[in-house]
Chain A
Amino acid sequence: MAMTTLPERVRKDFPILDREVHGKPLVYLDNAASAQKPLAVIEGQREYLANYHANIHRGAHHLAQLATEAYEGGRSKIAAHINASGTEEIIFTAGSTDAINLVAQAWGRANLTSGDTVLVTRMEHHANIVPWQMVCAEKGAQVVPVNVLEDGTLDLDDYRRALEQHQPKLVGFVHASNTLGTINPVSELTALAKKAGAVTLIDGSQAVPHLAIDVQAIGCDFYVGTGHKAYGPTGIGFLFGRREILEAMPPWRGGGEMIKRVSFDGTTYNGLPHKFEAGTPHISGGIALGIAIDWINGVGVEAITAHETALVQHAHAALGTLPGLRIIGTATEKVGVVSLVVDGLHPYDLGTLLDGQGFAVRTGHHCTEPLMDHLGLESGTLRMSFAAYTTREEIDRAVIALERAINMLR
């Protein structure tokens, strides 16, 4: 008796997967850029806007109470999902980029001084490089990268050496690389950084949709994630920070919501998490991100991880049959990301010809230019990235479509 596969169970939740592009059925393989939304998320946002929209936290009326409960419910779901020790450790942000900028500006400006080092890796997304360069330039500190090996894993020897040599104030690294798929040994990296006396920040943008996360077990100080890659809406994400470190951090943006009392003689700030949430937030986003997390848990994060691991293995094997094709990032532990290049061909041409056949992939440097430079990939890569609804058949068809594209270009 054949068991139902994960995609068979979940595809009905994603209306967009039934559409066509250029007259061909859509095959969506750009999930690392943004995942599609299940009906529950779409409906949940609509339901809020249609039935209980109001500004949160301050209204004495019924709708304000409903909206506040739903929004704070989203926060509780995030806290539970990553095993934070309390909801006050979860700050809603516009996304991962916004969360890292918050830490760089609030923690960084208070703690970095001239001569300090922020250690990151060469596989970071620009979002975990540029905010540090900005604050370091202001403070006379430096951003130092840790090397990445040929197979797309982090050079642990270089990491240990850099910790020793630079005694960084903060170490930042991706949980999983958006370009290579590599899953970093985050607990080990965190433990080593802590031993060297550094504060740790993990960019979990690519991990939240694919992996079970336990920030207490990892032991990190900060962990950031974004909603839209995890089946939720755009414009919403989160910063996890350990309570003590968040309490010691000054606020970044000022305004309503984040204050206890305002007067021209002096203003006092609100407690956690609101101290870092100035202004009216993305209420529907917070609610819908909670629904997206419910959806992930309903499907089962372990089932998603297992499914995507199998897809990556299948894709590696199937793509390996195409002559001149090289997979970029062959770590043993990967999320559902497969980057590739084909000898003599430009990723943009391949991506365009895949688009013409109904396949959505990403080409270019994937906002990881230092990594592309390091690997000598001037034109970037073509990246296929998977989600819970991706099927083996879609990957097989993508391989055939890619072969056709290669033949057209040769």
Chain B
Amino acid sequence: MGAKERGPLTEPMFYVLMSFLHREMCGTDVTEFVQKKTGGRVYLGPGTLYTLLGKFVEEQLIEQTDVSGRKRTYRLTDKGRAAYREELERLRACVADAEEEER
């Protein structure tokens, strides 16, 4: 599913995809990353995270790589990386428009 069909990523979605950019992660790692990155502004409860991970797996934006006990690790797919880049470009364009308007 492309970004046009999915629409813009929400803030939690964007940060979850961002968390997988450089390494594989499990659920608790993702919430820690997002919390740290946003200074606590964005927090993901496990229920919210589960729904997001489920959506991303279904849309093949991420894939499960390992199961160790109850810990499941995921990584970004090429499709997920492209979706993240696409969203990043959209946000950059938004910021550029805003800054231009400010001047």
Whether A and B are associated in the same complex: the answer reads no
